Amino acid sequence: MMVRSNVMKEKVVLHLFIFLCWIAPLSASAYESELPPAMQSSMPPPNLKAVSWVLMNPDTGVMIAAENPDEKMEPASLSKLLTAYIIFREIRRGNLSQEEEVVISENAWRTGGSRMFIEPGERISVENLLLGMIVQSGNDAAVALAEHVAGSEESFSGLLNQVAAELGLRNSHFVNSTGWPHPEHFSSARDISLIASAIIREFPEMYGYYSIREFTWNNITQHNRNPLLGRDESIDGVKTGHTEAAGYCLVGSAKRDGLRIVATVMGTESARYRADAVYSLLKYGFAAYEMHRVYRAGAAVVNAVPVYKGDRSSVAVGVSQDVQLILPKGAGAGLEASVTVNEPLIAPLDQQQQVGKLILGLEGKEIGAYPLVTLDAINQGSWTSRMLDVIRLRFR
C-alpha cells in the first residue's frame, strides 16, 4: 500500500549577513556534512581560519557542516561543559540539589587560572558554584563541584570519561574538570558540539545559566566571557575557552524560527576572531537552512490500515519519534512522503509494533526512512470474525 502526502511550502524572508571582508566561500569539497547530498544547501559555509569547526543541530544531532571535526585538541575551558552536564544530571536524578551547600576545600581554593574567588571553608550552594563555573568560568568552582560529587577531582575524571562514552564522544579523554592543560586531556570540535547539544536538549531549564551576563561573588563582579551574548538576541550561549596550546575556542548557540544551531570553533588566533567566526557560522546556518517538523510522535500518518482477525477492523499507524528534517531554505516544497505497510496485518498487534516504513524523499531522491508503528493495540477478535477474515484473506 502506498500513501502519498504533500508538504506545504513555507514562505521565509531571507536576510544574509556575513563578513565578506575576511570570509570567502569554500568549494563544495572543502567541508564535511552528515546531511545527505540532496539535503545540503548550495550555499557554501564560510572559510574560517581555525584548526577545526562544527555547525550542528542539537535537536537531531546532525552535523550540518564542519572542517576537521575530529581533530584532537586541548579543549581548555570548554571542558567545563561536560562537568556542567554531569552536575545537571546529578540534580535531575535527585543526587544533588541546587540549594545544597558545598564546603570549599583548600585544593579547590588553590586552583589556578580563571577563578570565582571562593575561600577555603566557605559553604556555597551548588547553584552559586554553577554560576561561578558557567558565567565566570571559575576553575575553583569546577574543582569544588567535582570534589563534592566524586570525592576528588581524580575520581571525577573517571566519571567524565564514563559519561563521555555514554554521549558517544570518540575523540575525547578528560583528566580534570576544568580543562587545565595536560597531555592526556583532549577533545574535538565534534565532541564539544555533542556535549553542548546534550545540555541544550536534555536540560533546557538549566541551559538558561549560559545566557546570564554577569555574576558577583565575594564582592567581585565578573562578566560572562561569551562576547556573543548581546550581539544578537537569538544567541543564548554557550562557552569560551583559551590556553596557549588550544588557541581561542568558542561554542555559540542560537535559535530562530524553530531551528536551533550550535557552532563550535577551536584553535583560532584571537578572542575577537573566534567570536566573529562563530557568529558567521550561526548567520550562515540560518541563511542556508530551515527546520521542518514533518510528523509528530504519536500522530497518525495513516488513519485506518485494515486489520484481519482482530476485535477492530483497522488501526492507525504513525511514527514513535518526531520526524524532523533540516532542509535548504525553500526546499520543503519538493518534500515527498510515502508509506509501505507489511500487509496483511493479522491480530493480535501490540501498540508501537513496527508494521511498515515511512520513506521521505526530496526531488525524487530518498533522504530518510523511519519505522512505522501501530498507535493502538489490536486484540484477537471473536471466533466468528476470525473465520470470516480467513475467507476474506483468500480473496484479497
CA distances from 30 to 48, 129, 143, 260 (A): 11, 42, 40, 24
- How does pLDDT run across 224-272, given as a tens digit for each residue? 999 999 998 999 999 999 999 999 999 999 999 999 999 999 999 999 9
> Within 13 Å of residue 29, how many CA atoms lie on the same side as its CB?
0
Domains of the chain (ranges; CATH) run: 37-289 (3.40.710.10), 296-394 (2.60.410.10)
Please give the share of the chain, as a percent, with pLDDT higher than 70. Answer: 93
Q: Is the pLDDT of residue 21 over 90?
A: no
Q: Is the pLDDT of residue 197 over 60?
A: yes
Q: Is the pLDDT of residue 1 over 50?
A: no
User: Mean per-residue pLDDT for 176-187?
Assistant: 97
Parallel, antiparallel, or unpaired for β 123-125 and 101-103?
A: antiparallel
Range with the poorest average pLDDT among 17-31, 267-281, 284-298:
17-31
pLDDT (0 to 100) of residue 385: 85
The type of residue at 156 is: F
pLDDT band at 20 (very low <50, low <70, confident <90, very high): very low
Is 80 an annotated catalytic residue?
Answer: yes
- How does pLDDT run across 74-118, given as a tens digit for each residue? 999 999 999 999 999 999 999 999 999 999 999 999 999 999 999
Distance of CA 28 to the CA centre of its chain: 25
- How does pLDDT run across 295-312, given as a tens digit for each residue? 999 999 999 999 999 999
pLDDT (0 to 100) of residue 363: 84
Is 77 an annotated catalytic residue?
Answer: yes
d(CA 179, CA 176): 6
- How does pLDDT run across 319-362, given as a tens digit for each residue? 999 999 999 999 988 899 999 999 899 999 999 999 999 999 99
pLDDT (0 to 100) of residue 311: 94
Q: Which of 144, 167, 209 has the alpha carbon at shortest distance from 58?
A: 167
d(CA 318, CA 201): 23
pLDDT (0 to 100) of residue 395: 82
User: Mean per-residue pLDDT for 268-291?
Assistant: 97
80-92 and 189-202 helices cross at what angle (nearest 10)? Answer: 30
Q: Are the C-beta atoms of 373 and 354 separated by less than 8 Å?
A: yes
Residue corresponding to grid cell 585544593: 107
Please give the share of the chain, as a percent, with pLDDT higher than 90. Answer: 85
User: Mean per-residue pLDDT for 208-227?
Assistant: 96
pLDDT band at 314 (very low <50, low <70, confident <90, very high): very high
- pTM equals 0.87
Q: Which of 380, 363, 355 has the alpha carbon at shortest distance from 302?
A: 355
pLDDT (0 to 100) of residue 28: 39
Query: Which is catalytic among the residues 137, 157, 253, 280?
Result: 137
pLDDT (0 to 100) of residue 364: 86
User: Mean per-residue pLDDT for 63-78?
Assistant: 97
User: Mean per-residue pLDDT for 166-189?
Assistant: 97
Query: Which is catalytic among the residues 52, 79, 80, 188?
Result: 80
Residue 153 C-alpha cell reads as: 577531582
Q: Is the pLDDT of residue 3 over 70?
A: no
Angle at 337 between CA 333 and CA 341, to 5 degrees: 175
Q: What average pLDDT does the structure give for the chain?
A: 91
d(CA 84, CA 203): 10
